[in-house]
């Protein structure tokens, strides 16, 4: 059984995590404030479960964006201690101001780029030389804190499964597997019996999608004749010496196949890609590391970390963070059914948003490409649509995408997406969004591969000019 002394999944962060844990344990009660995406929801769930097990009364609240008004709202509560998860580092200036006034004591477990201000209880991988965009997510930071909160017989290693869902939802496995501190958390989850990792076909939907749909929508590595072609996927599967259909000729799912059958399908898919001229470096991406939540039922979206994270994204982005949190904390009745309904709506909206981009196209500014969806795409999902659009006809993967959507009459939401290859060339969208937003009177930040901003309505073209210049400087 673990104890506080050996609860060090990320040794570099252990001392700071212990200090943060001691502050929380000394609190009469804690208000947990979290972001609304999959990483934010899993961060809140990990933190909430750890506080519950430690006997610390707490309440949870969520924000789409942590700005000065939101921080002032938190300061106006009667909570003496506020735990910020998956945001807070970039807003330390405002947080420190309220701390100095005695409004609250902040504890921050985040992985975004910190502001210049300092606070005593600040747990962030970037402070310890760990990449917050690749090696540890917000949920991972919350997990490190959860391990430090262990006392007596409490063992929080099972929460590693939830933390991995957050990391995958934050696209930290974009190179095919989780790395660095994330990998250490995976090891703990496997040791606790909550996770399994394996090499498998790197496509979304292996638990829930019928095989033809699985291959049709597998476009991260585009396979001519199969990707984006249902009939092509059906022909491919029917030509295999694999029984891909079950009773009454219904299509099986990937999870329904035996290990040997999966190997045959994967090998045939690779051979097909080679014959169609797909470059070897892209073919390599057809196989990656998958993360299975072993305590969840097989054949459900909760079993696979990627599908689980998508389910969570479909809750808080439609103003139902309470539903996503309940699912993370184990509600498998009403909350799960509501989440699935929201997921169906989310998929329709993403499909419609992608269709809008295909119809209207993007504007090439030189170093970036951009589109302004106005009120046609919900501002909470425009970043996801931007990422999905990279590689479709007319949208290049060789330069980042900047997307605008209406947030209010006065403000515009900006989302940007890049690729791992661009990041390796020097792209840092967090810096791009921050500099360009500041230049037009807004604010922004995030990660090198995905970042966002909020800017005054009417400044979009000026924003693009600044973003285009910064990206040009980064990529030479």
* pLDDT tens sequence across 421-436: 899 999 999 999 999 9
pLDDT average, residue stretch 389-397? 85
* Dihedral angle sign, alpha carbons of residues 117, 123, 129, 132: negative
- Report the pLDDT value the prediction gives residue 1, as an integer from 0 to 100: 38
In whole angstroms, give the CA distance from residue 302 to residue 165. 10
- Report the pLDDT value the prediction gives residue 3, as an integer from 0 to 100: 42
In whole angstroms, give the CA distance from residue 163 to residue 10. 14
- Report the pLDDT value the prediction gives residue 282, as an integer from 0 to 100: 87
Beta strands in 250-395 (DSSP E): 287-293, 363-364, 369-372
Name which of 21-30, 33-42, 229-238, 243-252 the model is least confident about. Answer: 243-252
365 phi, psi to nearest 5 deg:
-100, 0
- Report the pLDDT value the prediction gives residue 2, as an integer from 0 to 100: 41
Q: In this predicted model, what pLDDT tens digit does every residue of 64-74 receive, in sequence order?
A: 889 999 999 99
In whole angstroms, give the CA distance from residue 421 to residue 275. 25
Spans of all domains in the chain: 4-190, 201-348, 361-475
Helices and strands of the chain, counted as H and E runs: 18, 13
- Report the pLDDT value the prediction gives residue 260, as an integer from 0 to 100: 95
Average per-residue pLDDT for the chain: 94
Which token pair is 424?
Answer: 């390796």
- Report the pLDDT value the prediction gives residue 175, as an integer from 0 to 100: 83
Query: SS3 for 198?
Result: strand
Determine the CATH number of domain 4-190.
Answer: 3.90.1640.30
- Report the pLDDT value the prediction gives residue 5, as an integer from 0 to 100: 39
Spell out the CATH class of 361-475.
alpha beta
Q: What is the dihedral of CA 200, 390, 135, 163, to 10 degrees?
A: -70
- Report the pLDDT value the prediction gives residue 186, as an integer from 0 to 100: 98
Q: How confident is the model at residue 193 (pLDDT cuts 50, 70, 90)?
A: very high
15 phi, psi to nearest 5 deg:
-65, -45
- Report the pLDDT value the prediction gives residue 420, as an integer from 0 to 100: 81
Q: How confident is the model at residue 4 (pLDDT cuts 50, 70, 90)?
A: very low
pLDDT average, residue stretch 152-171? 96
In whole angstroms, give the CA distance from residue 39 to residue 309. 8
- Report the pLDDT value the prediction gives residue 447, as an integer from 0 to 100: 82
In whole angstroms, give the CA distance from residue 212 to residue 214. 5
- Report the pLDDT value the prediction gives residue 6, as an integer from 0 to 100: 56
CA 7 to chain centre: 25
In whole angstroms, give the CA distance from residue 133 to residue 118. 21
Residue 461 predicted with pLDDT over 90: yes
In whole angstroms, give the CA distance from residue 30 to residue 106. 10
* Dihedral angle sign, alpha carbons of residues 313, 316, 318, 323: positive
């Amino acid at each position: 059984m673990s104890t506080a002394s050996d609860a060090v999944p990320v040794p570099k962060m252990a001392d700071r995590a212990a200090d943060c844990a001691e502050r929380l344990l000394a609190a009469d009660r804690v208000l947990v404030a979290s972001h609304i995406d999959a990483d934010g929801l899993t961060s809140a769930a990990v933190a909430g479960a750890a506080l519950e097990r430690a006997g610390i009364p707490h309440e949870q609240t969520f924000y789409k964006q942590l700005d000065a008004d939101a921080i002032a709202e938190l300061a106006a509560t009667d909570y003496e201690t506020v735990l910020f998860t998956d945001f807070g580092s970039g807003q330390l200036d405002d947080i420190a101001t309220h701390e100095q006034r005695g409004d609250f004591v902040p504890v921050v477990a985040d992985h975004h780029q910190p502001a210049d201000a300092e606070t005593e209880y600040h747990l962030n991988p970037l402070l310890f030389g760990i990449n917050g965009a690749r090696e540890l997510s917000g949920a991972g930071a919350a997990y490190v804190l959860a391990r430090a909160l262990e006392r007596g017989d409490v063992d929080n290693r099972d929460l590693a499964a939830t933390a991995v869902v957050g990391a995958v939802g934050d696209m930290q496995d974009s190179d095919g597997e989780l790395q660095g501190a994330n990998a250490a958390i995976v090891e703990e989850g496997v040791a606790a019996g909550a996770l399994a990792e394996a090499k498998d076909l790197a496509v979304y939907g292996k638990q829930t999608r019928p095989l033809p749909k699985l291959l049709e929508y597998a476009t991260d590595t585009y396979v001519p004749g199969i990707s984006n072609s249902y009939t092509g996927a059906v022909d491919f599967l029917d030509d295999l010496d694999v029984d891909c259909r079950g009773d009454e000729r219904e299509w099986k799912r990937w999870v329904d196949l035996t290990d040997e059958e999966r190997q045959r399908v994967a090998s045939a898919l690779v051979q097909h890609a080679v014959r169609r001229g797909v470059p070897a470096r892209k073919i390599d991406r057809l196989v990656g590391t998958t993360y299975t939540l072993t305590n969840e039922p097989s054949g459900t979206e909760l079993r696979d970390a990627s599908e689980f994270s998508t389910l969570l994204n479909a809750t808080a982005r439609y103003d139902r963070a309470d539903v996503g949190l309940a699912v993370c904390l184990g509600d498998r009745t009403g909350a799960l059914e509501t989440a699935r309904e929201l997921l169906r709506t989310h998929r329709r909206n993403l499909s419609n948003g992608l269709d809008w981009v295909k119809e209207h196209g993007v504007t090439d500014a030189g170093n970036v490409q951009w589109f302004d969806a106005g009120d046609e795409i919900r501002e909470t999902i425009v970043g996801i649509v931007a990422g999905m659009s990279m590689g479709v006809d007319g949208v290049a993967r060789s330069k980042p995408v900047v997307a605008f959507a209406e947030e209010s009459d006065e403000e515009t939401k900006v989302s940007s997406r890049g690729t791992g290859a661009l990041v390796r060339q020097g792209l840092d969208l967090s810096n791009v969004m921050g500099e360009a937003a500041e230049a037009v009177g807004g604010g922004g930040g995030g990660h090198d591969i995905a970042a966002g901003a909020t800017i005054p309505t009417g400044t979009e073209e000026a924003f693009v000019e600044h973003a285009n210049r910064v990206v040009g400087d980064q990529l030479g």
